[in-house]
Amino acid sequence: MKVISVASKKGGVGKSTTAVTLSAHLAGRGKTLLVDADEELRSAWHWTTKKAGYDGWGFDVQLYSAFIDQDNPGEGYDYVVLDTKGGEGRDELAALSRNSSLLIIPTKPDGVSSDGLVATLEPLLEKGIANYRVLLADVPPAPNSDGMDMRMELDNAGIPLFHHSIRHAVAVSKAAREGICVRDVKGDRYAKLVWMDYELISREVISHVK
Ligand SMILES: Nc1ncnc2c1ncn2[C@@H]1O[C@H](COP(=O)(O)OP(=O)(O)OP(=O)(O)O)[C@@H](O)[C@H]1O
Ligand SMILES: [Mg+2]
């Protein structure tokens, strides 16, 4: 069983979007469980359970309280994807990384300095923790260069990054509203493109955890 956790100090950076969409990809490769550990918002849970009769997910979903209540949480699954609440500090990130095969830290390139993120992640680097990757998500299209600029800043600071980024696509929030996978959003070609972005990320994830 490989545990893949999605976390960040900042809120609203694409954690739940990443956990849900990545789970849909991993489900094509192995038995997958999505665990919603943000019991206050339950975004991943609501997104994946709201549309009655929809069978486009391919994975199971549990709330963290139910997951942790079992004798052997995650038993029988190849991949367990954990969506966490925002605001995890350095120590929590370090603890999560120890208990996971891979820790994914999404961030939006908001045009401001990435110093805050670097400061949060430096202790992981100092402690020699290497099983995490920063994911640039919701990246605006060219000619905007925020995504490239932030990639270069983080790279220069020695922060490990996924090679691919996730583009900005309104189809993502439409999918969440409708309770479907972004792959199934109709009439928006960016839906397929952002789904393919996550396909590339899922390949990187698999190569990190195998
Ligand atoms: N690639 C994307 N393109 C466009 N919008 C996106 C993208 N990724 C995320 N968003 C939007 O950004 C907002 C925050 O995303 P999401 O809920 O996944 O973040 P989060 O980190 O889980 O937030 P929270 O900290 O509240 O749990 C949502 O409205 C979501 O639809
Ligand atoms: Mg969330």
Which is it for the CA torsion 142, 187, 49, 99, positive or negative? Answer: negative
pLDDT at position 122 over 90? no
CB 194 within 8 A of CB 137: no
What confidence tens digit (pLDDT) does each residue in 157-202 have? 899 999 999 999 999 999 999 999 999 999 999 999 999 999 999 9
> In the chain, which residue ranges form alpha helices assigned H by DSSP?
15-26, 43-49, 64-68, 90-98, 115-126, 146-156, 171-178, 189-209
Strand partners, 105: 134
Q: Contact 134/161 with Cβ under 8 angstroms? A: yes
Q: Is the pLDDT of residue 133 over 70?
A: yes
Name the residue of 40, 83, 108, 172 whose CB sits within 8 Å of the most ligand 1 atoms, as the mutation to test its pocket: 172
How many independent structural domains does the chain possess? 1
Helix 146-156 / helix 115-126 crossing angle, nearest 10 deg: 30
CATH code: domain of residue 201? 3.40.50.300
Which tokens sit at 150? 């932030």
Shortest-distance Cα residue to atom 25 of ligand 1: 11
Q: Is the Cβ–Cβ distance between 6 and 86 less than 8 Å? A: no
pLDDT number for residue 120? 81
Which residues lie near ion ligand 2 (Cβ < 5 Å)?
15-16, 43
- In the predicted model, is pLDDT for residue 112 greater than 70? no
Domain around 92: 2-209
In ligand 1, the atom with minimum distance to the C-alpha of 169 is 3
Residue showing tokens 């665990």 = 35
Residue ranges lining ligand 1, Cβ < 6 Å: 11-17, 38, 41, 43, 86, 137-138, 166, 168-170, 172-173, 176, 194
Q: Above 90 in pLDDT, residue 125?
A: no
pLDDT of residue 142: 94
Token pair for 100: 């996971």
Banded model confidence at residue 113, pLDDT cuts 50, 70, 90: low
Q: Whose CA is nearest to atom 1 of ligand 1?
A: 138
